Structure 1
Amino acid sequence: MNLYQSLGYLVLGSRLRRMSETFLAEINRIYQNQGIEFDASWFPVFYLLSKNDSLSIKELSGQTEVSHPAASQLITNLKNRKLVETTVCVDDGRRQLVQFTDKGRELLKQILPVWEAITASMNELEETDPKIAEILPAISALENTFRNYNLAGKVGEKLNPIPNEKF
């Protein structure tokens, strides 16, 4: 057992970040090996736009659960690469709608088979160990529970207990 495994929840965030960085680097290597100029960080936007003709930055922000500035920064990056464009919403001039450019649609055609191959390969990996099949449901359960669990408050209560008041 390595140090990270022995420390349990004390390093959960570090382990998740490390695993995420390793996984995303591997995914980026897949795109690179296929000669596709695509970054895994673009996936949420590409996926959502592959399912919708256009979405507002607010909708993208909400569905990807990132801040509006972070979504806006990603869209700006994709606009600079000529992969997406924005137009003003006809119904609400304050909203910008994001959609693929022709170049973005061409890139999507290249990456769709990669997504299918990644899914198939991960399903094969899952079959090698029953515990791997538990990871996605476990992460979902942790995310859902953690949203409503005030960890800082719970730890604070343990560090600074309120003494029993005598009436």
Structure 2
Amino acid sequence: MNYYQSLGYLVLGSRLKRLSELFLSEINKAYRLQGIAFETTWFPVFQLLDKHKVLTIQEIAEQMEVSQPGASQLIAGLKQKGLVCSQAHAADARKQQITLSEQGKTLLMRVKPVWEAIRIAMEDMAGTDGHHLLENLTRLEDEFKSKGLVNNIMENLNSKNIISHEENI
């Protein structure tokens, strides 16, 4: 057991961040090895537009669970690269409808086999208990959304007999 593993939940965020960085780095390598200029941060937008064809920036932000400015910034970058197009919404000109451009659709067709290979590789690596990992991550995400970690920490500090460092002296 390494140092991080020995600390359990106290370093869960650090372990998840390290794992996420490793995961995204490996996926970026796979894209590069296939000669595909695709960034992992684009995946949710491409997947959503593949599924829905047309979405507003607000709908993309809601689906990705990010702020509207964050989604706008991502869309602006994709627009600059010529991968998405936008046009004013027919009913509300303040809203922009986003679609994949022809270049974006071509790129989508190239990355879809990589996505399937990623899914298969991750299922293999996660093993037979992999579905439990995803279920537990979903449960943890739901707990963070509904109650929040800080509320839980404060509750524990107030209701449990946790002795502060100063009281131990």
TM over 0.5: yes
Measure, in 2, the Cα distance between the counterparts of 1:82 and 1:126. 36
**Map of 2:162 onto structure 1:** none
**Map of 1:66 onto structure 2:** 66
Measure, in 1, the Cα distance between the counterparts of 2:158 and 2:139. 29
Please give the residue correspondences for 1:6-155 in structure 2 after superposition, counting only pairs within 5 Å.
6-127=6-127, 130-155=128-153
CA root-mean-square deviation: 1.4
Measure, in 2, the Cα distance between the counterparts of 1:156 and 1:27. 38
AA matched with 1:6: S
**Map of 2:165 onto structure 1:** none
Measure, in 2, the Cα distance between the counterparts of 1:51 and 1:61. 15
Measure, in 1, the Cα distance between the counterparts of 2:149 and 2:93. 41
Measure, in 2, the Cα distance between the counterparts of 1:79 and 1:9. 40
> Aligned with 2:85: secondary structure?
strand
Q: Provide Cα deviations, 1:49-69, integer angstroms capped at 9, x if missing partner.
A: 001121000000000001111
Paired-residue identity, %? 47
> Aligned with 2:125: secondary structure?
helix
Gaps of 5+ in 2: 160-169
Q: Provide Cα deviations, 1:68-121, integer angstroms capped at 9, x if missing partner.
A: 111111001101100001110011111001111110000001011111111122
Measure, in 1, the Cα distance between the counterparts of 2:114 and 2:32. 11
Gaps of 5+ in 1: 162-167
Segments of 4+ moved more than 6 angstroms: none
Q: Provide Cα deviations, 1:5-29, integer angstroms capped at 9, x if missing partner.
A: 1111111111111111110110111
TM-score by length of structure 2 reads 0.88
**CA spacing shift, 1:119–1:150, aligned 2, 3 Å:** closer
1:159 Cα deviation (Å)? 3.7
TM-score by length of structure 1 reads 0.89
AA matched with 1:156: M
**Map of 1:164 onto structure 2:** none
Measure, in 2, the Cα distance between the counterparts of 1:111 and 1:154. 41
Measure, in 2, the Cα distance between the counterparts of 1:60 and 1:33. 29
> Aligned with 1:4: secondary structure?
helix
**CA spacing shift, 1:9–1:23, aligned 2, 3 Å:** same
Structure with the bigger percentage of helix:
2
